[in-house]
Amino acid sequence: MNTSLRASRVAIAGGALLAAVALTACGAASSGPGDGAAAGSSAASSSRPAGSGGAGSAPASAAGGAASAAAAAPTTSATTSTVTVPLGGPVPLGFAATSVTFVSPQEAFVLGTAPCAKAPCTSILRTLNRGASWRGLPAPVVPLATLSEATGPAVWGIRFANPSDGFVFGNGLWETTDGGERWSPAISPGSSIESLEVIDDQVLAITGGCVPGGGCAQQGTLSRRPLAGGAWHVVAPVSGRGAIATQARVAAVLDGDGVIVTANGGVSAVTQAGPCGTAGLYPAVSLAVTGPTGLAVLCAGNGAAGSVDKTVFVSDDLGAHWTETGSPARGGDPEGMSAGSASQFVVAAASGASMLYYSADGGARWSTAYYEGDGGLGFNDLGFTTPSDGVVVYGPAVSDDNVESRPGWLLLTSNGGASWQPDAF
């Protein structure tokens, strides 16, 4: 996932003050990050982030992947670009993250939810200093949900191509071209968007039919459209789908045991044979792009009592040939894999607990970089913005208003995944 300023501003004019206050209203026609009573978090851990607000305890670096609202006069970020960005409003109390996207090592957007007086309670935050401070932004007036439970319009993911152009997706698609100040419905490539990434000025999306409580169909579609807008075009059908992996202008997605690879945003693509079936192992469950010519695939199976066999294969020619490297620990069902480089890999897993496994030698040897004995709250959007700077959502919120009181933290790494620190909103 190529993918952080709580500014203490006092509005000079009454209109500017009212605009900032409007951003805290939840469920209003103009949309915005919701306010409401603070919500407690159910996951107790020694790594629990410090209280929300201010610089907090964010590490020195990190990565990654709606209707309009009246915002105060925009300001320009000197830390990321000269693009004018919305000033934003306060962070809603009790905010819990679901999805995250970084557009630079410093600037990120987070989709989540918070208790509010009027549903939907979907909220978006932005940071310009890698999580040292956060501001609330407008969000689509659509409830937060999960892919398998949504019964109507719902959202569960966010991706930005740059500080201005971004998407919120789920059962529908919403787009902004002004840094999240205004969101508009966009034409969706299909019913449920399971994964979306932007690369080479193309938007890639995997879609498929999903039934509440019944999961998603095995067959889906990988599609693309220009970032500037236009019609969607089918790249390839996909089966046994996972997240789209991107890095170094390469995008890849699992297609059963095979791997679909594109180096031009899906304008053309090739399907390579994957390593898991060829080696007589368990199915491929996750994929990472490790560099301009590098891929890694995680095979997993033979699960029992919260443990699963896991084996990693790597390729240095975009999937033409594969080499087995090693095996992360058996604990937990694999939820994703990402790589800051061809040598540093991270695998997320959860069952009775939630773990991040780390390798510093291309997958040969593994250690546990992060552990929460939480009953398996899991992770989302594991990714890297630079070889060192990475991010993942721990215990992501899965419903509007976060009625389950899931933690919804961001975990940041500045050493390629060797260690992770929670960031406070």
Between 10-24, 103-117, 179-193, 233-247, the lowest mean confidence (pLDDT) is in 10-24
Q: Which amino acid is at 318?
A: L
Rounded Cα gap, residues 91 and 124, in angstroms: 9
DSSP 240: S
E strand or H helix that includes residue 278: helix 275-278
* Residue 7 pLDDT: 35
Max CA separation in the chain (angstroms):
69
Report the chain's C-alpha Rg in angstroms.
Answer: 20
Whether the predicted pLDDT of 51 surpasses 60: no
Matching residue, tokens 């659509």: 142
Whether the predicted pLDDT of 106 surpasses 90: yes
pLDDT tens for residues 393-407?
A: 999 999 999 999 999
Whether the predicted pLDDT of 346 surpasses 90: yes
Specify which of 4-13, 18-27, 74-83, 354-363 reaches the highest per-range mean pLDDT.
354-363
* C-alpha distances in Å from residue 292, one per residue of 275, 315, 356: 19, 11, 25
SS3 content of the chain, % helix, strand, coil (to 5): 5, 40, 55
Q: Is 147 left (phi over 0), alpha (psi -120 to 50) or beta?
A: alpha
* Residue 369 pLDDT: 98
Query: Which tops the pLDDT comparison, 98 or 50?
Result: 98
* Residue 214 pLDDT: 61
Cβ(194)–Cβ(241) under 8 Å? yes
Whether the predicted pLDDT of 381 surpasses 60: yes
* Residue 28 pLDDT: 34
Q: How many CB atoms lie within 10 A of CB 60?
A: 10
Which pair of structure tokens corresponds to residue 257?
A: 């045991």
DSSP 364: S
pLDDT tens for residues 157-168?
A: 999 999 999 999
pLDDT tens for residues 80-91?
A: 345 666 788 999
Residue 151 — very low, low, confident or very high, per pLDDT cuts 50/70/90?
A: confident
Count CA atoms within 13 Å of residue 195 on its CB side.
Answer: 25
* Residue 83 pLDDT: 62
Whether the predicted pLDDT of 348 surpasses 70: yes
